[in-house]
Structure 1
Amino acid sequence: MREFERAAQQAGFVLDDAQRQAALRLAELGAGMTRRRGLFSRPAAPPRGVYLWGSVGRGKSWLTTTFYEAVPLRNKRRLHFHDFFREFHAAYHRNRGDSRVTDRAVTELLGDCRFLVFDEFHVHDAGDAMLIGRVLRSILDQKITLLTTSNYPPAGLLPNPVFHEMFEPTIKMLEETMDVVELGGGRDYRAEYGSGAARSEFERGAYLWPGTGEQLAEQGLTPPEAAERRPVEVGGGRTVPALAVRGDLVWFDFHDLCDRPYSTGDYLAAVDRFPVWVLSGLPRLAGENRDAAQRFANLIDVLCDRDVRLVLVGEAPLDDVLRGENLPLDVNRTASRLSLLSATADSDAH
């Protein structure tokens, strides 16, 4: 518990009641995983995992980072769930001839891992839901202690009422095998502490509206020319059309990147190649189809989690872009993350 209090003091804040309760449960988890046993004692059963959920900006990632860095375990892993699931698909394909293909793929990816952290766990894709259930069962059967962070309680996963029932067995498994800890409260620390000096590459990015030549020039950019347009490979023979590729920088148009059936794995593949992104032509999401809006939310997750510098060019103020009906399921998280970008508006555009 002292590690959490010390880290909070260094970060310039005091743990609130909900954070303190979550920290206490994580401290118990750490004690359970590191408790020494006698030489001839039977192997201890792994401690119950923790499913930590709460609204955006409540400190889930901060608590998890503080805990993970303090736990003195060698065989621990921390993965963003998007990243893991992309790698799992590839491992599943490699082991598809095996009758225990899911277990083989999980073992290939995790090896001797005994403590696994999944950041940003959520389920929106009905096509992945059943496979995710099998993956979680395999992880638990292999006696790996699991800590997950999520914006949703287990019962809120796969919220689409058409498909939710199919995921209920997995929800029940999570609730029976993990302690569900809510990080409640309305205070958004990300919004409070997001101003000031940038602490990451993502925070060094900017939101420009409407993206005038002067605004772009302030970011060291010039508008792309037609001759710069080229395809960017994302694996599996697929390509994404880019408006420009300039060394480590790639420039995409919203409709090219989000209005086509690209997956989170495609975005991850592109992020692996380019540490600086420009995305222009961002419209008001309420006027777009829901799939395009959800892809945009997934993209922002990937860029933020991979700490990519982003210059985002919108057709309206950011609040207007993220307002209305037909928005992504995770629009609050998207808004919280985009609030980290410095915003620049052209005075003549108002």
Structure 2
Amino acid sequence: MLETFERAARQAGFTLDDAQRAAATRLSRLGTELAGRRRLFAGPPPRGLYVWGPVGRGKSWLTETFYEALPLPRKHRVHFHAFFREFHTVYARHRRERNACDLAVAELLGDCRLLFFDEFHVHDPGDAMMMGRVLTSLFERRITLVATSNYPPAGLLPNPVHHHMFEPTIKLLEASLDVVEVAGPRDYRGERPAQGARSRFETGRYLGPADPRQLRAAGLEPPTADERRQLDVGGRTLTARAVRGSLVWFDFHELCAERTSTIDFLTLADRYDTWVLAGLPRLSSTDRDAAQRFANLVDVLHDRDARLHLVADAPLAEALHGDALPLDIARTASRLRLLTPA
């Protein structure tokens, strides 16, 4: 399988660096182990991997290449936010049962043998406690886990007030998975492709303050007052400045400064594949909750490969600079650098 990684890298226009090659070698070995177990139908499950490192070093690319090349029918890829939306919905149906978590995992994953958990991160104490139970259930079901993260296991749930709550789960991760660091010197995501865009997300624009002429030059007609729409999202109402087919237009303060959740963003991403978010301020000037919601929104839209047009009050480097910003702001910045600047 190592040849698969090398061929995919050449097609993408680069050569594997040392850190990527080491991770690819370990992933290739896991692929061989999974294929062998598929034939034998016996023995313990292969030991999974926890692949972590700074943004833009190729973690997701490596694991997605592995996942796509692996001829294993009982495999499942899930993003952190999407998993918890599904999990909480299913868990609610079983919450009166003593083994509600096990029942929810069984319903979601069935006879899955390989789970690819992309963008593994834990900042919320409630999610942290539930994640420990979910991981225990996964390993008891003999599922091989591959996860990517910007944090080493010991860096998860970094808030010192709550970190001790997650320490048993950190020990479980370290005991159950091989930890592989991908931290080469090159930020691949920060290097734009020579020709065209590689994804729908990258076809979005990063625009300056809402000058109608600039918006129209980008193919965006400013919304009128009578285009405002009230959208029902999970039983609550959110205000959009416009809805035009598969395009939805929001104001930052009406979407991110309200008590919206990642589940709301996932629900909206099911309906709309093109987004305009206007009025992005310097995040240092807004409260931390609003900034975190914005970071979560970018995560969701990037994972769904939705087109995002941002209309901002300042250049990207200034908009995402300051104190008390989200812990994952480096990942947010890395993704937004993929957008075409005005």
| Amino acid in structure 2 at the alignment position of 1:282 | L
8 Å CA contact 2:282, 2:314 repeated in 1: yes
8 Å CA contact 1:95, 1:105 repeated in 2: yes
Cα drift, residue 36 of structure 1: 5.3
| Alpha-carbon distance in structure 1 between the residues aligned to 2:194 and 2:267 | 30
8 Å CA contact 1:281, 1:313 repeated in 2: yes
In structure 2, the residue matched to 1:328 is 326
| Per-residue CA distance 1:150-208 (angstroms, 9 max, x = gap) | 01111111111111110111011000110010001221001113564112111110010
Cα drift, residue 7 of structure 1: 1.0
| Alpha-carbon distance in structure 1 between the residues aligned to 2:341 and 2:330 | 18
Cα drift, residue 112 of structure 1: 0.7
| Per-residue CA distance 1:106-162 (angstroms, 9 max, x = gap) | 010001100010110100111211011101111111000000000111111111111
| Alpha-carbon distance in structure 2 between the residues aligned to 1:94 and 1:122 | 25
Cα drift, residue 37 of structure 1: 8.1
| Alpha-carbon distance in structure 2 between the residues aligned to 1:164 and 1:262 | 25
In structure 2, the residue matched to 1:227 is 226
In structure 2, the residue matched to 1:275 is 273
| Alpha-carbon distance in structure 1 between the residues aligned to 2:267 and 2:64 | 25
In structure 2, the residue matched to 1:347 is none
In structure 1, the residue matched to 2:115 is 116
8 Å CA contact 1:250, 1:278 repeated in 2: yes
| Amino acid in structure 2 at the alignment position of 1:116 | L
8 Å CA contact 1:194, 1:339 repeated in 2: no
SS at structure 2 position matched to 1:198: coil
Cα drift, residue 211 of structure 1: 2.4
SS at structure 1 position matched to 2:213: helix
Cα drift, residue 34 of structure 1: 1.0
| Alpha-carbon distance in structure 1 between the residues aligned to 2:48 and 2:309 | 38
In structure 2, the residue matched to 1:20 is 21
8 Å CA contact 2:37, 2:45 repeated in 1: no
Give the direction of change, closer, same or farther, for the CA distance of 1:233–1:195 in structure 2 (3 Å limit).
Answer: farther
- What TM-score, normalized to structure 1? 0.95
Cα drift, residue 52 of structure 1: 0.3
| Alpha-carbon distance in structure 2 between the residues aligned to 1:196 and 1:256 | 36
| Alpha-carbon distance in structure 1 between the residues aligned to 2:129 and 2:195 | 43
Cα drift, residue 95 of structure 1: 1.2
8 Å CA contact 2:20, 2:184 repeated in 1: no
| Alpha-carbon distance in structure 1 between the residues aligned to 2:341 and 2:258 | 27
Cα drift, residue 28 of structure 1: 1.1
| Alpha-carbon distance in structure 2 between the residues aligned to 1:241 and 1:45 | 52
| Alpha-carbon distance in structure 2 between the residues aligned to 1:260 and 1:325 | 21
In structure 2, the residue matched to 1:202 is 201
Give the direction of change, closer, same or farther, for the CA distance of 1:241–1:181 in structure 2 (3 Å limit).
Answer: same
| Alpha-carbon distance in structure 1 between the residues aligned to 2:148 and 2:303 | 13
8 Å CA contact 1:284, 1:321 repeated in 2: yes
- Kindly report the root-mean-square deviation, in angstroms, between the aligned alpha carbons of the 2 structures: 1.3
In structure 2, the residue matched to 1:300 is 298
Matched, 1:213 2:242: no
| Alpha-carbon distance in structure 2 between the residues aligned to 1:38 and 1:342 | 47
Matched, 1:248 2:246: yes
| Per-residue CA distance 1:82-101 (angstroms, 9 max, x = gap) | 11111000000111122110
- Counterpart selection for 2:312 from 308, 311, 314: 314
In structure 1, the residue matched to 2:88 is 89
8 Å CA contact 2:35, 2:72 repeated in 1: yes
| Alpha-carbon distance in structure 2 between the residues aligned to 1:92 and 1:37 | 30
8 Å CA contact 1:232, 1:270 repeated in 2: no
| Per-residue CA distance 1:211-251 (angstroms, 9 max, x = gap) | 2111110222222222221221221x112111111111111
Structure 1 outlier segments of 4+, above 3 Å: 36-39, 193-196
| Amino acid in structure 2 at the alignment position of 1:308 | A
| Alpha-carbon distance in structure 2 between the residues aligned to 1:126 and 1:341 | 32
**Structure 1, 149-158 or 192-201: larger mean CA deviation:** 192-201
SS at structure 1 position matched to 2:239: strand
Cα drift, residue 10 of structure 1: 1.4
| Alpha-carbon distance in structure 1 between the residues aligned to 2:79 and 2:30 | 20
Aligned residue pairs, count: 341
Cα drift, residue 38 of structure 1: 8.0
Matched, 1:146 2:151: no
SS at structure 1 position matched to 2:248: strand
In structure 1, the residue matched to 2:103 is 104
Unaligned runs of 5+ in 1: 345-350
- What TM-score, normalized to structure 2? 0.97
| Alpha-carbon distance in structure 2 between the residues aligned to 1:141 and 1:275 | 37
In structure 1, the residue matched to 2:284 is 286
SS at structure 2 position matched to 1:281: strand
**Structure 1, 190-199 or 208-217: larger mean CA deviation:** 190-199
